[in-house]
């Protein structure tokens, strides 16, 4: 299975934000082997891992732990390629969020991207699904900040957020986050998200003509159809990753989503050198390893977060998978690790 990718055009905005500070982005681009020409290529793709690393390295270069928030605030009509234009040309804010979440996969793979409109409240959520990609805080804060910025541009600044949630621990002063979003901000949550009152969703756009929206949607619909191709293992992995960690899909539902019987799905996966249980278990274990290294949650809390009803079975499964128990892994043990978990690191964040 190939590694997940992201449109090079999305990196272009981040690189431009670096240069707005008076620093050159050339060294950072060289580090991930990306040329300026690629940033201007509408079809250019780069590994998602390289994009995440660029963001974290840029924050370190600028000595700005909140670089992602600030880059998000500067998001405009060209910051997310055609997705920005799609959002800003929608007839209403409700349509803007719905269409954006429907087509993000055309620009970025391995991302959870959801919009819920229920009970008088609306929530946009985002997250990187590949649990082996651990350098992701700047991207999470950028993505939530950028969507808030686009929504404010769309409505002429009329919307207000009720709350913001982030998966990671807090870094720096809480007031930075509170002032940026103008609402309560919570950390170490199940997803990266913001919530606002549903009444804002009927607001009409003030930036681009809504006549552009069906044209852009048709273009992205064709791209989305092309993106559905791929191995069955890759497609199963994407369906597993899209579900909550503590409520993974069952094999029957997954086979149904793919238009296959359960025996046929098992045969297809075996032909590709893997299996249903292997894919599910690897996803849960890599997620657990990330939480162990990047958070201060207890082992019992992590066991529940990745779908185990009690700690003992989680500890046994983790030890079989990584060759060492969870507490030793968290403390930097030297036991055998799977390739997918190699290189995990701790960001040294504070809890909120």
What is the tens place of the pLDDT at every residue in 25-72?
Answer: 999 999 999 999 999 998 899 999 999 999 999 999 999 999 999 999
DSSP H or E run through 352: none
Q: How confident is the model at residue 95 (pLDDT cuts 50, 70, 90)?
A: very high
For residue 58, what are the CA distances in angstroms to 13, 52, 117, 289? 13, 10, 35, 25
Cβ neighbours around 43 below 10 Å, total: 9
Chain position carrying tokens 């910025």: 149
Exposure class string for 152-172: b at 16+ Cβ within 10 A, else e: bbbbeeebebebbbbbbbbbe
Give me the pLDDT at residue 337, please: 42
Q: What average pLDDT does this structure show over 253-280?
A: 90
Total count of residues recorded for the chain:
352
DSSP string over 213-280: HHHHHHHHHHHHHHHT-S-HHHHHHHHHHHS-TTSPPPHHHHHHHTT--HHHHHHHHHHTT--HHHHH
- What is the DSSP code (8-state) at residue 160? -
Give me the pLDDT at residue 221, please: 83
Give me the pLDDT at residue 340, please: 40
Cβ neighbours around 73 below 10 Å, total: 16
Say which residue, 153 or 309, is predicted with more confidence.
153
Give me the pLDDT at residue 235, please: 83
Q: How confident is the model at residue 228 (pLDDT cuts 50, 70, 90)?
A: low
**At residue 343, does pLDDT exceed 80?**
no
DSSP H or E run through 343: none
Say which residue, 233 or 342, is predicted with more confidence.
233
* Nearest C-alpha neighbor of 301 from the set 134, 189, 203, 150: 189
Give me the pLDDT at residue 51, please: 97
In the chain, what are the domains?
69-225 (no CATH), 231-347 (1.10.10.60)
Q: Are strands 192-197 and 121-128 parallel, antiparallel or unpaired?
A: antiparallel
How confident is the model over 119-158, as pLDDT tens digits? Answer: 899 999 999 988 888 899 999 999 999 999 999 999 999 9
The whole-chain average pLDDT of the chain stands at: 88
**At residue 232, does pLDDT exceed 90?**
no
Cβ neighbours around 345 below 10 Å, total: 10
CB 110 within 8 A of CB 269: no
Q: How confident is the model at residue 230 (pLDDT cuts 50, 70, 90)?
A: low
Give the whole-angstrom CA distance, residue 290 versus residue 316.
Answer: 17
Chain position carrying tokens 């819920």: 116
CB 149 within 8 A of CB 72: yes
């Amino acid at each position: 299975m190939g590694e997940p990718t992201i449109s090079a055009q999305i990196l272009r905005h981040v690189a431009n934000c670096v240069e707005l500070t008076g620093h050159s982005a050339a060294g950072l681009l060289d580090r991930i082997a990306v040329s300026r020409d690629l940033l201007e290529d509408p079809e250019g793709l780069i590994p998602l891992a390289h994009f995440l690393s660029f963001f974290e390295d840029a924050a370190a270069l600028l000595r700005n732990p909140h670089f992602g928030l600030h880059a998000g605030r500067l998001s405009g009509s060209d910051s997310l390629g055609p997705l920005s234009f799609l959002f800003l040309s929608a007839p209403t804010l409700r349509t803007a969020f719905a269409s954006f979440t429907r087509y993000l996969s055309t620009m970025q793979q391995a991302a959870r991207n959801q919009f819920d409109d229920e009970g008088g409240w609306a929530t946009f959520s985002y997250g990187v699904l590949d649990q082996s990609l651990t350098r992701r805080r700047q991207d999470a804060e950028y993505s939530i900040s950028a969507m808030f910025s686009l929504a404010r541009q769309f409505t002429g600044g009329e919307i207000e957020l009720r709350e913001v949630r982030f998966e990671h621990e807090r870094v720096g002063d809480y007031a930075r986050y509170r002032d940026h979003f103008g609402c309560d901000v919570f950390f170490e949550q199940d997803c990266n998200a913001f919530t606002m009152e549903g009444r804002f969703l009927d607001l009409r756009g003030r930036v681009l003509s809504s006549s552009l929206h069906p044209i852009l949607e048709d273009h992205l619909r064709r791209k989305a159809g092309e993106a559905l191709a791929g191995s069955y293992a890759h497609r199963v992995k994407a369906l597993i990753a899209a579900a909550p960690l503590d409520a993974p899909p069952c094999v029957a539902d997954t086979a149904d989503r793919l238009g296959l019987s359960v025996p046929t799905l098992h045969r297809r996966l075996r032909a590709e050198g893997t299996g249903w249980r292997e894919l599910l278990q690897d996803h849960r274990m890599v997620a657990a390893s990330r939480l162990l290294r990047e958070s201060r949650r207890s082992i019992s809390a992590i066991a529940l977060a990745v779908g185990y009803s009690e700690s003992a079975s989680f500890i046994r499964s983790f030890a079989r998978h990584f060759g060492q128990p969870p507490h030793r892994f968290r403390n930097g043990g030297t036991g055998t690790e799977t390739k997918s978990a190699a290189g995990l690191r701790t960001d040294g964040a504070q809890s909120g």
